[in-house]
Amino acid sequence: MRKYFFIVLMLVMISSCSFNTKKGIKISIENKSNHNLENVSLSTTENVIELKLEKLNKGDVYSDFLSLKDNKVDGAYVIKFKRQNKEFEEHRFGYYTNGTALEDSMKIEILNNEIQVKYGKEK
């Protein structure tokens, strides 16, 4: 009887674990502003891995995966970009802990005067 209890307990423990071995977050950046953007970059405050785009035209959407495999401490996400004929903008947002994202995905919408970020969990 103990043997069966142990087997059931192990199966419950294994099935409750997440098998997502990718350490990072799916990202989507959408340019909803009236301007084309240049030199777009997304990273973390640790700046270990940086996703870079030379240009993101108005109406365009860029999707990728931001790896956090080399991040070790708590931090936030950082997006930098330059609007046409303007200075660079830098926005910090969100949170990850010990190099692990708290969400599965993040959608960044760049508007004329601000950015909006929406987070999601995969089911």
Q: pLDDT tens for residues 47-67?
A: 999 999 999 999 999 999 999
Contacts of 56 (CB under 8 A, 6+ apart): 29, 31, 36, 37, 40, 62, 81, 110
Q: How many H-runs (helices) and E-runs (strands) does the chain carry?
A: 1, 9
Yes or no: say if 67 and 51 are a contact pair by the CB < 8 Å rule: no
Shortest CA distance to 104 belongs to which of 14, 27, 17? 27
Cβ neighbour number for residue 31 with a 10 Å cutoff: 24
For residue range 84-119, list pLDDT tens digits in order: 888 999 999 999 999 999 999 999 999 999 999 999
Q: Judge whether residue 34 has pLDDT over 80.
A: yes
How far apart are the C-alpha atoms of 9 and 120, rounded to whole Å?
Answer: 31
Q: Hey, how many other C-beta atoms are within 10 angstroms of the C-beta on 110?
A: 22
> Which pLDDT score, from 0 to 100, does residue 120 have?
94
- Sequence ranges of the domains in the chain: 21-120
Domain made up of 21-120: CATH architecture = Sandwich (2.60)
Q: Do strands 100-101 and 88-97 pair parallel, antiparallel, or not at all (unpaired)?
A: antiparallel
Contact between 27 and 51 under an 8 Å Cβ cutoff? The reply is: yes
